[in-house]
Structure 1
Amino acid sequence: MFDHYCTACEQRQLIAPSQVTSIDNTDSGIFVSFTCWCGAEGHALTGRKAHALVA
């Protein structure tokens, strides 16, 4: 589980594993696609490499 701010419903939502539609390892980090509780598609880039890009 992780939290995500949804721009469609303008709320911070807790995303459950059942809402994840795909996980892809990329050179920039782990790209997670999911469906918000409101039905909007969302994406998140996470992992050690993604955090190194921000620092």
Structure 2
Amino acid sequence: MFVHHCSACDRRQLIFPSQITGAATQDGESGLAFTCWCGSEQIWLLERKVSAAHVAAA
């Protein structure tokens, strides 16, 4: 579960796994596609965490 602010209904909603419809990308960022409680298709972008060790190895 996660909380998302819907751009269609302008509400902050708790999103359940059953609402997830798949993976998606937006502006080169990975995320989860889901259907809001209002019926609008939305994307929740995943935060990319990069450690200092990973950057030094690259």
Per-residue CA deviations over 1:28-50 (Å, capped at 9, x if unaligned) read: 66410000000000001114x2x
Who is 1:45 aligned against?
A: 45
Structure 2 residues without counterparts, runs of 5 or longer: 51-58
Output the aligned Cα RMSD.
2.2
Instruction: Within 5 Å, give how 1:1-55 maps onto structure 2.
Output: 1-23=1-23, 30-47=30-47, 49=48, 51=49
Runs of 4+ with >6 A deviation: none
TM-score, normalisation: structure 2: 0.67
By percentage of residues, which structure has more strand?
A: 1
Query: Number of residues paired by the alignment?
Result: 48
TM-score, normalisation: structure 1: 0.71
